[in-house]
Amino acid sequence: MKDLNVKISNPNKHPEQVFRKPLARHLSKIQKRRLATVSEQFEGLLTSLMLKSMFDKSNGLFGKDSYGGDYFQSIFEMQLGDYIARNKSLGIAKQIYRNVTGEEFDPSMAMRKIHISQLSMAKIKNKTGQGKAIQPSMAALERLSKYENIINAASQKFGVQDSLIKSIILTESAAKENAVSKTNAKGLMQLMDITAESMGIKDVFNPVENIFGGTKYLSSLFGLFGNDLDLTLAAYNAGPENVKKHNGIPPFEETKNYVKRVKAYLNFFGD
């Protein structure tokens, strides 16, 4: 094998320094906030996976055969992972942020609270093209009421307004916890397997895990798209890459109708 000659203009400079250039000057304030949010969320996810591995080796916190033990352990792992990332920190988020921007990580930059009142809710319309209001069925609302406490807990944990979580659940599955779509999206918030796995979900049909995982994913999309409601909903339906590709809501009828329906349900709940 022949030697590969690499030309470096400054022979005293380490090769790694030639290719690693901080992007601080090229990133906007909102881009830095998104990076801070994603870095922190990544550390939380990695921490929860480490906790999961540790607990699994000892048959879990509640024992191998405990009734509902895996149910509560999953929530504990996610919550403890996020708590460690936000309060104690392993330093992973700081390192990612510093490597990309060349600046020190400021935890206050991470976007954690997403409230509908902060978004462009004035643009929400509750009418279809035919002038008929879009409203959930009484049966769907009755099913949804069973998950009120879980939704409220997820809302407080991830800073996503409870009415938005409810609206997505109604749109995605009509509040049917065992729903499976044609594309194999599952559960109340219709999560794909890869999304469920990335959110640390062990049982996608478990209402607590599904709602907490779906809300966590929704929160991450808000961070990715600067708290823009339309873009976040479009990304939840069609995927963030499609939103980026089309620089807005993708020109898919399903996605456009999805955004309209979720916002109509928000209007139904008075937000």
Instruction: Give CA–CA dist 27/10, Å, rounded.
Output: 27
Instruction: Give CA–CA dist 124/122, Å, rounded.
Output: 6
Cα angle at 238 between 235 and 240, to 5 degrees? 40
The catalytic position among 40, 43, 172, 209 is 172
Helix (H, G, I), strand (E, B) or coil at 97: helix
Yes or no: say if 44 and 157 are a contact pair by the CB < 8 Å rule: no
Q: Would you call 172 a catalytic residue per the annotation?
A: yes
Query: Following DSSP, what letter does each residue of 41-71 receive, concatenated?
Result: HHHHHHHHHHHHHHHHHTT-TT-TT-TTHHH
CA dist list (Å): 6 to 9, 18, 268: 10, 11, 64
Instruction: Give CA–CA dist 258/171, Å, rounded.
Output: 7
Residues annotated as part of the active site: 172
